[in-house]
Structure formats: C-alpha cells, structure tokens
Amino acid sequence: MTIVGQAQMEAAVVPRRLWDVLTDSRTWREWNPALEWAVCEGALAPGGYVTVKPKRGRRQTAYRIEAVEAPRRFALGLTFGPLAALRQTWTIDATAAGSSIACEIAIAGPLAGLLVRGMAQRASALLPDDLARLADLAAA
C-alpha cells in the first residue's frame, strides 16, 4: 500500500466517545461534509459494508469493513478486483489529555493511480478538518 494522506490530532475526549461517533455512520455527514449520507449495512463487523453517497458524485459506493477493534482501530476498504484498492484507517489512542486520533488513506494495485488515486487525494486533503469536526462532535 502507498500512503496518499494522513492526519493526526489530539482531542480532549475519552477514546470510547470518539469511537462511538466514528463508528456511527449516521453522524458521518456531520464531520465529513463531503458526504451526502452514509449507512452501515448490517452489523459493524469485518466483512460488512458501509455505503456512502458523496455530495460531489452521482453514485453511492460500498466500502467493505476491514477492521473493527473497539475502541482503537477502524478500517474501510474499496477494491476494484486485483486492479486497485483504497484503504482508510482510523486509529484512536488514549493520552493524558484524552485521545489522539489519526487517519491514513492508502492505495495499492497496478491501476490504483488511474482508478482510486484522485479519490484518495481529495479525501486526504479534507482529513485535518474532518478529524477536528469529529473530535468536536464527540466532545459535544
């Protein structure tokens, strides 16, 4: 995997509260304004799906849940067969002041540059503000 973007910030909120907001797809458009909506399809577990509809695009996209390690790690993946993959991973760690939350977006595959690099770059540019809004929502 090639890392396209990453961001990290400190939040004055306990890890479990950050986790609860992060993994509630109903709140995603509140901290990620690029989304029109997001829905977790079934249980929040590896192998499940989260479907999102970006404001910018005409199509919804189903991301496969790759990791759910409460309250520390949550990862979503999007694949185009063996040709391209995009992975977004959030990591939450406890700190003396509350939490540290980080997000990384990575791509892989022989056609990743063509199929998912642009999407990964756009999402990466929004990461610092998205994390700040996520922390603010969790603190509210």
pLDDT number for residue 105: 98
pLDDT tens for each residue of 13-40: 999 999 999 999 999 999 999 999 999 9
CB 80 within 8 A of CB 111: yes
98-108 β-sheet, strand order: 2-11, 98-108, 84-95, 73-80, 61-69, 49-54, 35-41
Residue 42 has pLDDT above 90, yes or no: no
pLDDT number for residue 39: 96
d(CA 140, CA 100): 17
CB 36 within 8 A of CB 54: yes
Token pair for 104: 């990384």
Crossing angle between the packed helical segments 15-22 and 117-139, to the nearest 10 degrees? 130
| Nearest alpha carbon to residue 5 among 91, 120, 110, 83 | 120
Percent of the chain having pLDDT more than 70? Answer: 100
* Length of the chain measured in residues: 140
pLDDT number for residue 115: 94
Residue 58 has pLDDT above 90, yes or no: no
pLDDT tens for each residue of 109-119: 999 999 999 99
pLDDT category at 127 given cuts 50, 70, 90 is very high
Please, what are the domains in the chain?
2-24+67-139 (3.30.530.20)
Residue 99 has pLDDT above 90, yes or no: yes
Residue 56 has pLDDT above 90, yes or no: no
Residue 57 has pLDDT above 90, yes or no: no
